[in-house]
Amino acid sequence: MAVEQNRRDFLGFAFGGVAAVGGAFALGAMKRSWDPLPSVAAAGFTTIDLSPMQDGEFRTFEWRKKPIFVLKKTKSMAKNELRDITVSDAQYTVVIGLCTHLGCIPSWDGSSEMFKCACHGGQFDASAVNTFGPPPRPMDIPPYKIDGTKLVLGEEGPEYKKFLEASKA
C-alpha cells in the first residue's frame, strides 16, 4: 500500500516538474516572439560623438536608414535660436538629410555655406532652412537627446521637446 502511494507521489511530482519546465519554455518562447528583433532594437537609436568635429565641418551619419546631416557651425555662420543644437558651447545643425520637396538627398556646399538639392534646384541655408526653390519647409530635425558631447538620435530629450513646443508657437 505504502509502495503504491509512493509511486503515485513520484508520478505526481514527475508530471508536475515536466509541466513546470514546459510552461517556463513556453513563456520564454512567447516573450522572445514579443520582443523586437535585435536588429530592430539596435536600429532605433544612433549615438553620435560630436567632440571630434571641427568648426565648419560637415558629416553624414545614418539613423533608421535615413541620412543625418551634422554641421558644426563656425562663429561667422548665422545662429538659428530655434533650430541650432548647442553642445559644449558650439552650435550644430542636425537634420534628416532629405529634401522636403520630393525627398532627394541634398549636398552641402561649403563654399556657399548652403545645402543644395540637385533634383529641382532647392536650396537651404546652414541651418537647413529652405531659402530657394520648391522645398516647402526646412529639413526635419530628428528626435534627439544630448548626453555630454554625444547626441542620441531616436530619443526625445528635454532640448528636443523644447524645440517641438517652440515650433508649434
Residue ranges in contact with ligand FES by CB under 6 A: 99, 101-102, 104, 117, 119-120, 122, 133-135
For the bound state, the minimum distance from the C-beta of residue 68 to ligand FES, rounded and expressed in Å, comes to 17
Nearer of residues 120 and 161 to ligand FES, judged by Cβ: 120
Nearer of residues 66 and 150 to ligand FES, judged by Cβ: 66
Question: What spatial distance separates the first Cα and last Cα of the chain, rounded to whole Å?
Answer: 85
Beta strands per DSSP E along 97-159: 107-109, 114-116, 123-124, 130-132, 144-147, 150-153
- Within 10 A of 56 (CB to CB), how many other CB atoms are there? 15
Nearer of residues 138 and 144 to ligand FES, judged by Cβ: 138
Distance CA 146, CA 159 (A): 8
For the bound state, the minimum distance from the C-beta of residue 135 to ligand FES, rounded and expressed in Å, comes to 5
Nearer of residues 73 and 101 to ligand FES, judged by Cβ: 101
- Which helix (H) or strand (E) segment holds residue 19: the answer is helix 2-34
For the bound state, the minimum distance from the C-beta of residue 108 to ligand FES, rounded and expressed in Å, comes to 14
